[in-house]
Amino acid sequence: MRYFARSVLLPERLLMSSTDPIALFRQAVDRWPENIALVVGEEQLSYADLDRRSDAIAAELVRAGAVGQRVVLIADRTTSWVFEAVLGIMKAGASCVPLLPEGPLDRWTSMLDRCGARLGLISPSGSEAALRVERPHVEWIAPKSESNGMSGALPVPVSNDQEAYVLFTSGSTGGPKGVGVSRANLSAYLGHLLARYQFSASDRFSQHFALPFDLSFHDLFVCWASGATLCVRPESGWLRAAAWARSMGITVWFSAPSLAGVMRRARALTVGALPSIRYSFFCGEALPWQLAQDWRIAAPASRIINLYGPTEATIAITSFEILPDMATVQGVVPIGRSIGSDRTLVAPFEGAPPGEGELLLSGPQVTKGYINAPEATQKAFVELPGQEGLWYRTGDHVREDADGILHFVGRIDHQVKRFGQRIEPGEVDEAMQPLLDGGNAVSVPVLMNGATQLVTFIDVAADVRWLMDQLRTKLPVVYLPERIISLPEIPRNTNGKWDRVKLIQMAQHDAG
């Protein structure tokens, strides 16, 4: 028996690629309908159950005219519903706009205004209640738990250019920028990754990332393309992640290096502590060599792969595998080479040594720009003389060695990644500035014990606890600085700019 949304909403003949995420999910449903697709807390859903429930959401969305529209989703991972909703939105030929459950409200409304979303899904928990009051012009849809059949539904044609989801990256001025990732971008990523690694229907994938982070879409669709089980780690389970992985029998691990660092500090990376893991993927931040080797001690049967890629290039675009016989060295693991047909280019900039420069990316995974931000798009997405296609300027300073392996050196524009999310310190400063009665704020990333901390310097006397309380109403938790340090004057360099190198040194000394 074929359910309503599968046979009517999105006929497979209308899909442009065999690696389209929904086409791959449907193939898994057909092959392994009784396999467990999702584990969230005490809930377990088979592929047939997840297919049926997401069909019901898709049916409601189609009736509401969501085809080709953006649909807002408050991405609370505590129940299976949000995962059903992501599938339902994409089955309906709509674009998913996931937002962090904790807001804040100002940031939610800014994102909605930027992307122009006019439809939203009401969850059973009602977690979007504040946004529904704030944005009454958004049409809020409450899907039924089961499909009502084919009545009133129409076929939904899906093209390669159709948007799959919208995610927001940090911006130094004017708030976050929206990136529209197309079905073709995601399809290209899935095709590249699935061809390179051998996953199976018996695998059990970890799911650590919040859904508004692009790495979460790897978790969902690489797993579901393989007929495997997606296991969602509890939100409060950072310190017990190793015990959780053992209890769930995780075989495919994917996280930011920060989580592995937390596990090491908790003394959880003991010999053979993670025996079931056969693939370990890390992405979102620089991976220290020593941390990778400590991970190998805990997961001796695992292949360890360092992935790299900005949101604008769809999840990950290069990879480097750490082989067992590789010696531990100082610094961070290389980001490697392209995993598929996408191209990389190292563009020299003034002062860069030979072989170093800004990393530029081009190919089927690279998106077309930012939503309703032509100036930012024109600056970041460029055409190059003698080169085909559009190239994305990552802002990452890299070095290419004699073997063509790319090594991450740092950020050209001071942007950093924490817990898998890209953050512009200038956005933190922008939120802090109005609280300082005319004072200045400068935030810098500081590497401490293998993890990136954000430290904010201010040049006025202030109640630090009050400042942190105020920032919590303006920024997501991951953006909050670990420390706020007050100085009589923030140092500047000879060019009159903030001396960020000196500030980093001061932050490291202060921590010591």
* pLDDT tens readout for residues 405-435: 999 987 787 767 777 777 778 788 888 888 9
Out of 411, 435, 464, pick the residue that ends a domain.
411
Rounded CA gap, 171 and 422, in Å? 10
Query: Are both 370 and 434 inside the same structural domain?
Result: no
- Asked whether residue 357 is assigned to any structural domain, the reply reads yes
Strands 451-458 and 483-486: parallel
Residue 252: the pLDDT is 98
- Asked whether residue 306 is assigned to any structural domain, the reply reads yes
Query: Are both 303 and 227 inside the same structural domain?
Result: yes
> In the predicted model, is pLDDT for residue 495 greater than 80?
no
Query: Are both 487 and 376 inside the same structural domain?
Result: no
Out of 115, 139, 159, pick the residue that ends a domain.
159
In one-letter notation, the amino acid at residue 121 is: L
Query: Are both 357 and 470 inside the same structural domain?
Result: no
Q: Which residues pair with 253 in a beta bridge?
A: 280
> In the predicted model, is pLDDT for residue 146 greater than 70?
no
Judge residue 205's burial from the number of C-beta atoms within 10 Å of its C-beta, 0-12 exposed, 13-18 middle, 19 or more buried: buried
List, in sequence order, the alpha helices (H) in 118-265: 129-134, 183-196, 215-225, 241-248, 257-265
Q: What pLDDT, in 10s, does the model give residues 312-362?
A: 999 999 999 999 888 777 788 999 999 999 999 999 988 778 999 999 999
Quick check: helix, strand or coil at residue 346? strand
Domain that holds residue 502: 424-511
Q: 223 falls in which pLDDT band (50, 70, 90)?
A: very high
Sheet holding 43-46, edge to edge: 43-46, 36-40, 229-232, 204-207, 252-255, 279-282, 303-308, 318-322, 337-338
- Asked whether residue 197 is assigned to any structural domain, the reply reads no
Query: Are both 9 and 150 inside the same structural domain?
Result: yes
CATH number at residue 392: 3.40.50.12780
In one-letter notation, the amino acid at residue 134 is: E
Query: Are both 407 and 428 inside the same structural domain?
Result: no
> In the predicted model, is pLDDT for residue 456 greater than 70?
yes
- Asked whether residue 94 is assigned to any structural domain, the reply reads yes
> In the predicted model, is pLDDT for residue 5 greater than 60?
no
Place of tokens 């001025």: 173
Query: Are both 403 and 458 inside the same structural domain?
Result: no
Residue 159: the pLDDT is 73
93 Cβ neighbours under 8 A, 6+ residues apart: 9, 10, 62, 66, 67, 68, 156, 157, 158, 162
Query: Are both 399 and 330 inside the same structural domain?
Result: yes
In one-letter notation, the amino acid at residue 335 is: I
CATH number at residue 142: 3.40.50.980
CATH number at residue 488: 3.30.300.30
Judge residue 137's burial from the number of C-beta atoms within 10 Å of its C-beta, 0-12 exposed, 13-18 middle, 19 or more buried: exposed
Mean pLDDT for all residues in the chain: 88
Tally of helices (H runs) and strands (E runs) in the chain:
15, 25
Let me know: does 296 contact 324? Beta carbons within 8 Å.
yes
- Asked whether residue 441 is assigned to any structural domain, the reply reads yes
> In the predicted model, is pLDDT for residue 254 greater than 80?
yes
- Asked whether residue 210 is assigned to any structural domain, the reply reads no
Residue 232: the pLDDT is 97
Rounded CA gap, 273 and 298, in Å? 5
Place of tokens 């202060």: 510
- Asked whether residue 174 is assigned to any structural domain, the reply reads no
89-103, 180-194, 412-426: range with lowest mean pLDDT: 412-426
Domain count, the chain: 3
Query: Are both 263 and 333 inside the same structural domain?
Result: yes
Judge residue 486's burial from the number of C-beta atoms within 10 Å of its C-beta, 0-12 exposed, 13-18 middle, 19 or more buried: middle
Rounded CA gap, 432 and 230, in Å? 39
pTM of the shown model: 0.84
Q: 3 falls in which pLDDT band (50, 70, 90)?
A: very low
List, in sequence order, the alpha helices (H) in 166-284: 183-196, 215-225, 241-248, 257-265
- Asked whether residue 225 is assigned to any structural domain, the reply reads yes
Query: Are both 313 and 441 inside the same structural domain?
Result: no
Specify the DSSP class assigned to residue 105: H
Query: Are both 113 and 147 inside the same structural domain?
Result: yes
Query: Are both 444 and 366 inside the same structural domain?
Result: no
Out of 411, 433, 452, pick the residue that ends a domain.
411
